[in-house]
């Protein structure tokens, strides 16, 4: 779910590295591995990192995939391998039968989920702006 998004964004950032930089390194005698390690990664590195941040923000919003993956139980997890619920799956599972207080709680959970996702996306977009190559 995250890997294709990260891979496509990272490939775009790598393509944005100016050819003049790569050709200059090759003309000075750098090998392909040196060009990748010393030219491409430093120039495209923050963009590649921001693609991970944006992908994580996108994955936070996925509801049904995460619900099925983590077990969909209303128990507090004892360990990292035990089943549980995510914020989005609680909203999806209980919204139809919610009354006054429960409905307010679900809306508050939705607001917290929105704020977390918005914060992650803002951080990712700021990193992408910083990574733009002129």
Distance CA 115, CA 126 (A): 16
DSSP 8-state code for residue 128: H
Phi-psi group of 72: left, alpha or beta (phi > 0 → left; psi -120 to 50 → alpha; rest → beta): left
Distance CA 22, CA 37 (A): 11
Q: What is the pLDDT of residue 62?
A: 72
Q: What is the pLDDT along the chain (134 residues), one digit of tens a residue?
A: 789 989 999 999 999 999 999 999 999 999 999 999 999 999 998 888 888 888 887 776 676 777 777 787 877 888 888 888 878 788 888 888 888 898 899 999 989 988 988 888 888 788 777 766 54
> Could you tell me the pTM of the whole model?
0.58
């Amino acid at each position: 779910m995250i890997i294709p998004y990260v891979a496509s964004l990272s490939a775009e950032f790598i393509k944005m590295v100016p050819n003049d930089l790569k050709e200059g390194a090759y003309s000075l005698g750098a090998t392909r591995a040196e060009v990748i390690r010393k030219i491409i990664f430093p120039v495209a590195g923050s963009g590649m990192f921001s693609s991970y941040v944006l992908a994580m923000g996108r994955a936070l919003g996925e509801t049904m995939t995460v619900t099925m993956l983590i077990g969909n139980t209303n128990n507090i997890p004892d360990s990292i391998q035990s089943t549980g619920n995510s914020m989005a799956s609680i909203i999806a599972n209980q919204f139809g039968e919610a009354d006054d207080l429960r409905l307010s709680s679900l809306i508050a959970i939705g607001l917290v989920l929105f704020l977390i996702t918005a914060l992650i996306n803002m951080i990712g977009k700021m990193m992408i702006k910083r990574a733009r190559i002129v």
